A and B are shown apart, each in its own frame.
Chain A
């Protein structure tokens, strides 16, 4: 419970600090300290786990691992946001309150063991995200993104709630553990309400994961939202949802129900295909990353469907790699953005190598990792996904994964080609000394992420160990 309390307290403290004295730096520092404290409190809590905190939350090794991941990613987001917002006019401090609230929601999600905490965590996360996406409300795209996100998220939440109500009507309990017990208990439960309920819950989960056919908001919101917020949506909110998906379905064993398995297979295949196809000739880097994230979640579902400890490990490891890579990629977008607009058009990256070689190198690394080239974290992650899928003989899904990965290479290479293209010979080719300084925090974070990326790619053992220990606490159905 301690990490949750600290995050909550941090949000309140930051808000109070803002009301007393507006200072961007102070708000950032308070946020960072709060996140760091929450992160380190994980170690204090660790010896006490697993512990069931009221019926709503379960804090076990698995939850702690994902909490750590979420808190670390939030930490990175905050640093990126600081550099990003320094260039913006208007009030900036509220964003940190929202980020902390969103982090709280995600942390609740990964520890949730009850429909109520599931849905409340989700909503705490979502409500903060609406405001975060539309944060720069002096511009049109963020407003549009915020509106789209709000309407669709609320609609999908309604679906989710209706599904939960159906499951509850059928089983009379909302706790995952008891649902599992009932499902294994006997076949006397007619599945009439249960199955549609699950299907509607999948809608809610699928929306947050941005998988086909619930994916269409993704590119618009990614494009419109400020780059650090996009990084947050792409990592934290999805990661928390995947954690919940694993816990909910693995602990109740629902994915083994034939038709549910079929539904997930359709989603996975459609996501891999549509995500990769849509990105092909896209010229907006943020949209490319959005589409590629759709595909990546499709890959994750392949391993998810495989089931078992091995699959949970593969998914968790993949998420770690995906977090590092995605934060890095959006981090590059974020540090390149200026006060007027985000650097999201492919032309912004043309010849970047000649202007900012190190940044181009980092971006290259991130893209290679997304594409799954060896010696990067992305490769090892994808390797585990395929291995997990293969161990359950999901050949159709693996085949799709591989074919679509090949298609995926194309658009990653398109960005790479642009990065290394000779600098445009236009009139504005006078960047000598004219390059604005990059935010220092952002640069350090990017450097750290790239080191981490290669480190995990070359020496995955420690992370793998941690993942294995975390997943071992998951009570599989």
Chain B
């Protein structure tokens, strides 16, 4: 039913991935950083679904499910950490969490 070449799907994934990466590199707010990570993971999942669709296999979708699980796990730990950090550092600025260096 679809006749979109795989290129287009992968290109979309790539663009989303790059956008997520940009967000990760630019934003200072921890919540935004976590969101950017979600975008990147979602893009990777999209790439898998595209690839699986190319081969007509369910494997790509299965990997997507696992990525979904993993994203959920990351986010839950990440957000718990954000709460803790907000309590200790009184800010959400990641650059505040750079006491260790050198």
Contact surface of A with B, Cβ cutoff 8 Å: 115-116, 119-120, 123, 127, 130-131, 134, 137, 140-141, 143-148, 150-151, 154-155, 157-158, 161-162, 164-166, 168-169, 172, 174, 219-220, 223-224, 282, 287
Q: How far is the CB of B101 from chain A (nearest CB, A)?
A: 7
Picked from B45, B66, B70, B97, the residue with its CB within 8 Å of the CB of A144 is B97
- Tell me the bound Cα distance from A116 to B60 in angstroms: 10
In the bound complex, residues from chain B placing their C-beta under 8 Å from that of A287 are 102
Indicate if the CB atoms of A169 and B98 lie closer than 8 Å. Answer: no
The closest CB in chain A to the CB of B48 belongs to A165
Name the one of B34, B51, B77 contacting A130, with C-beta atoms under 8 angstroms: B77
Q: Nearest CB to that of A141 among chain B residues? A: B100
**Could you write out 13 A-B pairs with CB less than 8 Å apart?**
A115-B63, A134-B81, A134-B84, A147-B97, A150-B74, A162-B44, A162-B47, A165-B47, A168-B52, A169-B6, A172-B57, A220-B101, A224-B100
Partner of B97, one of A148, A154, A155, A223: A148
Residues of B within 8 A of A116 (CB): 62-63, 66
A141 touches B57 (CB 8 A): no
**A131/B77 in contact, CB under 8 A:** yes
Partner of A169, one of B21, B51, B85, B89: B51
Whether the pair A162, B13 counts as a contact (CB closer than 8 A) is: yes
* CB-CB nearest 6 A-B residue pairs: A165-B47, A169-B51, A161-B44, A158-B40, A172-B55, A144-B97
Name the residue of chain B whose CB is nearest to the CB of A114: B59
B51 and A168 contacting across the interface, CB-CB below 8 Å: yes
Chain B residues whose C-beta falls within 8 Å of the C-beta of A162 in the assembled complex: 13, 17, 40, 43-44, 47
The number of inter-chain residue pairs (CB within 8 angstroms) is 125
A219 touches B51 (CB 8 A): no
Question: CB-nearest residue of chain B relative to A126?
Answer: B74
B residues sitting closer than 8 Å to A (CB atoms) are 6, 10, 13, 17, 20-21, 24, 30, 33-34, 37, 40-41, 43-45, 47-48, 50-52, 54-55, 57, 59-60, 62-63, 66-67, 70, 73-74, 77-78, 81, 84-85, 88-89, 94, 97-102
Give the most central of A123, A148, A154: most B CB within 10 Å.
A154
Shortest CB-to-CB span from B79 to chain A, Å, is: 10
Q: Is the interface of A mostly helix, strand, loop or mixed?
A: helix
Whether the pair A150, B81 counts as a contact (CB closer than 8 A) is yes
State the CA gap A120–B65 with chains docked (Å): 11
Residues A143 and B100 in contact in the complex (CB < 8 Å), given A155-B40, A158-B20 = no
In the complex, the answer to whether A144 meets B98 with C-beta atoms within 8 Å is yes
The CA of A131 and the CA of B77, in the complex, are separated in Å by 7
Other A-B pairs, 8, CB within 8 Å; known A140-B89, A165-B60: A130-B81, A137-B88, A140-B99, A145-B100, A161-B44, A161-B48, A168-B51, A169-B50
Closest to A140 in B: B88
Report yes or no: A154 in contact with B47, Cβ–Cβ below 8 A.
Answer: no
Residues of A within 8 A of B13 (CB): 162, 165
CB distance from A115 to the nearest CB of B (A): 7
Closest B residue, CB atoms, query A223: B100
- Which residues of A are found within 8 Å of B59, using beta-carbon distances? 168, 174
How distant is the Cα of A130 from the Cα of B70 in the complex, in angstroms? 13
Considering the complex, give the chain B residue whose CB is closest to the CB of A224: B100
Nearest opposing residue in chain A for B37, CB measure: A154
Of A119, A169, A172, the most chain B CB neighbours within 10 A belong to A169
Q: Are A168 and B43 in contact (CB under 8 A)?
A: no
- CB–CB A127/B73 < 8 A: yes
Known interface pairs A127-B74, A130-B81, A219-B100; A168-B66 also in contact (CB < 8 Å):
no
Taking a contact as CB atoms closer than 8 A, the residue among A123, A145, A151, A168 that contacts B60 in the complex is A168
Chain A residues with Cβ under 8 A from B37's Cβ? Answer: 151, 154-155, 158
Q: How far is the CB of A171 from chain B (nearest CB, A)?
A: 9
- Provide the bound-state CA to CA distance between A224 and B99, in Å: 10
- Decide: B99 and A120 in contact? CB cutoff 8 A: no
A150/B17 contact (C-beta < 8 A), A144-B97, A165-B47 known: no
The answer to whether A154 and B100 have CB atoms under 8 Å apart is no
Contacts of A151 in B (CB 8 A): 24, 33-34, 37, 78, 94
Which B residues touch A130, using CB under 8 A? 77-78, 81
A119 partner residues in chain B, CB cutoff 8 A: 63, 66, 70
Contacts of B62 in A (CB 8 A): 116
